[in-house]
Chains A and B, each alone.
Chain A
Amino acid sequence: MRPFKTLQKLYDEESQVVITEKGSPPRVLFHGENFLQEDLPVGTRVIFPRPPLAGVPNVKAAIRYAINHPEGMEPLHALLKPGMRLTCVIDDISVPLPPMVTPDVRQTILEIVLELAADSGVDDVHLVIANALHRRMTEGEMKRMVGEKIFDAYYPDRYYNHDAEDPDGMVALERTSHGEEVSVNRRVAESDLIVYVNVNFVPMNGGHKSMGTGVSNYASLRHHHNPKTIRASDSYMEPKTSALYKSNERIGRNIDKHLKVFHIETALNNRMFGGPTDFLAKKEEDYTEGDRLKFQAMRFALSKLPRAAARKVLNSVPAPYDVTGVYAGATEPTHAKTLETSYKQYVVPVEGQSDIVIFPIPFISPYSVNSILNPLLVQVMGLGYFYNLNRGVPLVKKGGVLILLHPAYDEFDPEHHPSYIEFFHRLLPETRDSMKLEHKYEREFAENPSYVHLYRKGNAYHGVHPFYMWYWGENGRQHVGKVIVAGAENNHVPALMGWERTDTLTEAIEEARGFMGRSATISLLRIAPTVMVDVK
Chain B
Amino acid sequence: MAEWFTAEDGAVRLVGSRCDTCGTPYFPRNTLACRNPQCASPKDGSELAEYLFSTRGRIWSYADARYKPPPPYVSSDPFEPYVVAAVELEVEQMVILGQVVRGFTVDDLAVGMPVELALGVLYEDEEAEHTVWMWRPVDA
Do A and B interact with each other, yes or no?
no
